[in-house]
Each structure stands twice: as C-alpha cells, then as structure tokens.
C-alpha cells in the first residue's frame, strides 16, 4: 500500500499495463500500526491469479500492480498491541489482508466470505490505499491475517499452502472428505490438484486422479501416490468406475463436461468445485442418487492455520520449482501453458535486490 510523499522503502516487481509485463518498482508500505506485523518476505508462490490480475482479465486492475498472495517471511517488527507474534517468527500471508471483523463470517473465522474482505493485492484497503502483494521485499499486515509457520516447515514449501493448499483443504474439511477408507476423485493435476491428492492420501482416502492425458499417469501414481488413474475421455474407463466415489474435487480451470463425473459418484456423493469454468450438467445427474454440487473459495483464518499445522505435523509438502524474481515473467507464461510441476515459488530473499 503506497501513500503520497511517504518514503519508497519497499522494492517490488509490478505490472504497469494489461500486457502484464513485470519490472522493478519502488513504493511505500504503511507505517506499522499497533496491531500490525511487518514481514520481511523470503518467498512468494506464483498463482494463476497473478496472471489474471496483471493482465486485467476482469477489467478492474489498478496499475502499477504488484501481484502475489502466497507470502512467507520473517517478522521484523510488531505493533505495540500485537500478541500472537514476535520479531523473528516465521509467518505467512494469504489471499486477503483485511475484513470488517464484526460480521457473522468474521466471528466464525470465515473472513474470506466477509462483504468487506480486502484482497492482498489490487484492492482498496480501509485507509484508501491500494494493496500490493508479495512480489516485494516486505509487507505490513494486521496480525489477524498472518499465520504461524512452524519452525520445522521449510519456508519455500510453505508458500503454496496459503492459496493452493487452503483452496482444496477448505471444501475437503467442510464436506468431511477426511474419513479414512472413503474414496476421492481429483480432476486436474496442477497446483491445486496435486495438493488435493496429497491431502487425500494424508486423510487415508483412496484417491483416483482424472485426466484427459495419459502422460499424467506416471506422475499421478508414482510421484504423488494416487491409487488409481482414469482417462476421463475414455467412456469405457468411466463406465468401469460408475457410482464408486464418495467425493470429487474439481480443480480444472477450463470448460469441460460434468455429467460423466457426476455418474461416478455414489448415492449422496459430493462434487466440490474450486476451479473456474462454465458448469453445465443435466438435472438428472443430481436428482438421481441425491448428488450434490458445491463451490468453495480459499478459506478463513481458522482453517488456514489448522491446515498449516497439519502439513507440518504430517510432513505434507507441495512440489515446487524455486525461481528468482527476474524469471517471474517467464514463469507466468509457463503457468499459462501449464508447464510447471506444480507450483512456482519466487526466492524473494535471495533474488530481489
């Protein structure tokens, strides 16, 4: 967040126009308030949201725009009223940095659903400034929206948990997709999908990965430990598993048919949508066998901290490719082409100078 006349003490990389091209940019962060935490950023994950916002896909982007909402770093200063953190703590910041703190959602730790929720970048904060994300040297955030990263959890691996991880964890917990012995299907094997597989296995589920490409089979079964792999475009393979899954989590971004996936759910089965695509299916796909379709965003503060602690306790680690900040433009292009296994993480600490 910048303010006119303030010292430009933060170095970041920003897009200046809808080309989305990132380049160095100096700006100011707000002064640390009594409830704020100032964080020296060490790593920041690269999310498709970074592509969408830097290229103004929604038509609302405000430039210069500093993306990044999978932020991990070390506390360098705390406000006088901060209780939860001290200088030197490892912390994370996710997809939002403010909310009203008074509504029913905030009271339930579901701040992501607050009508006044403020996204980590490209949104107007309560002081009228525009939020700027984690492709930067440091950030100042109210302590409520910071998460403790256990000391034994690698900082670079923690970054993708703050968006990719919590986006699939939230619906899995909400719909009780953590019952050992139950069966889970995962559509899409990118940054979100590979975390859904990892959580599924940690919960003791039998995990089936769906893909349209046979090239994903080896990585799904051998690298990620899924139990089964199905080519979703193969009618016979889909028929062979009809009415066999308790849950499906759909992380795919592009448009795709839904009725074939609905047919592999058991009676009372649940399909959770976390990807972005146009949803079309026959009402009969729901009516027969009492199936349910549900949507989800990222997650509230309560679930996010629980997920981080679970990952540390059970050694659940994202698969990442660490990059320097000056590779960010290439990384975004590769992300568009789905050429990453499975999350880029920028080494801010050692490359942003």
Torsion 20-47-299-283 (CA) sign: positive
Q: What is residue 2's predicted lDDT score, i.e. its pLDDT?
A: 37
Q: How far apart, in Å, are the Cα atoms of 158 and each of 100, 198, 315?
A: 27, 14, 11
pTM summary value: 0.93
Percent helix, strand and coil across the chain, each to the nearest 5: 30, 25, 45
DSSP state of 119: E
Instruction: List CB contacts of 107: < 8 A, sequence separation 6 or more.
Output: none
10 Å Cβ neighbour count for 36?
22
Six-digit token pair at 309?
């602690």
Q: Compute the distance between CA of residue 282 and CA of residue 349 in angstroms, rounded to an integer.
A: 50
Beta bridge mates, 250: 187, 273
DSSP 274-310: -S-------HHHHHGGG-EEEE--S--HHHHHHHHHH
10 Å Cβ neighbour count for 296?
19
Q: What is residue 118's predicted lDDT score, i.e. its pLDDT?
A: 97
Q: What is residue 285's predicted lDDT score, i.e. its pLDDT?
A: 85
User: Position of tokens 């939002």?
Assistant: 96
Six-digit token pair at 285?
């796909």
Q: What is residue 193's predicted lDDT score, i.e. its pLDDT?
A: 95
Q: What is the mean pLDDT of each run of 10 residues along the chain (353 residues)?
A: 57 97 96 96 97 95 97 97 97 97 96 96 91 97 97 97 97 95 95 96 97 91 96 94 96 86 95 85 87 92 97 97 98 94 96 93
Q: What is residue 49's predicted lDDT score, i.e. its pLDDT?
A: 95
Instruction: Assess whether the previous peptide bond of 265 is cis (omega < 30° from 0).
Output: no
């Amino acid at each position: 967040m910048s303010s006119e006349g303030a010292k430009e003490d933060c170095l970041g990389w920003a897009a200046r126009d809808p080309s989305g091209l990132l380049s160095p940019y100096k700006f100011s962060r707000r002064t640390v308030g009594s409830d704020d935490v100032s964080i020296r950023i060490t790593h920041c994950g690269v999310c498709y949201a970074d592509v969408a916002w830097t290229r103004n896909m929604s038509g609302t982007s405000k430039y210069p725009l500093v993306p990044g909402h999978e932020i991990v770093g070390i506390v360098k200063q705390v406000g006088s009223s901060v209780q939860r953190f001290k200088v030197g703590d490892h912390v994370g910041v996710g997809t939002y940095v403010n909310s009203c703190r008074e509504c029913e959602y905030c009271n339930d730790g579901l701040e992501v659903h607050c009508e006044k929720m403020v996204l980590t970048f490209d949104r107007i904060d309560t002081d009228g400034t525009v939020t700027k994300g984690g492709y930067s040297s440091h950030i100042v955030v109210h302590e409520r929206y910071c998460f403790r990263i256990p000391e034994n959890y690698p900082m670079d691996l923690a970054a993708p948990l703050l968006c990719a991880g919590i986006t699939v964890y939230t619906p899995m917990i909400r719909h009780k997709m953590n019952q050992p012995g139950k069966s889970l299907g995962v559509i899409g094997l990118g940054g979100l999908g590979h975390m859904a597989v990892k959580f599924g296995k940690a919960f003791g589920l039998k995990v089936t990965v769906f893909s349209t490409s046979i090239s994903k089979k080896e990585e799904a079964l051998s690298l990620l430990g899924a139990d089964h792999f199905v080519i979703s475009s193969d009618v016979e393979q889909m028929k062979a598993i009809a009415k066999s899954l308790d849950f499906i989590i759909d992380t795919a971004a592009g448009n795709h048919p839904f009725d074939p996936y609905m047919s592999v759910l058991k009676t009372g089965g649940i399909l959770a949508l976390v990807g972005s695509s146009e949803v079309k299916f026959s009402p009969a796909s729901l009516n027969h066998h009492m199936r349910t379709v549900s949507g989800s965003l990222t997650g509230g503060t309560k679930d996010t901290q629980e997920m981080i602690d679970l990952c540390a306790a059970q050694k659940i680690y994202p698969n990442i490719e660490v990059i320097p900040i000056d590779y960010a433009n290439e990384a975004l292009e590769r992300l568009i082409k789905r050429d990453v296994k499975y999350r880029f993480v920028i080494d801010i600490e050692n490359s942003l100078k």
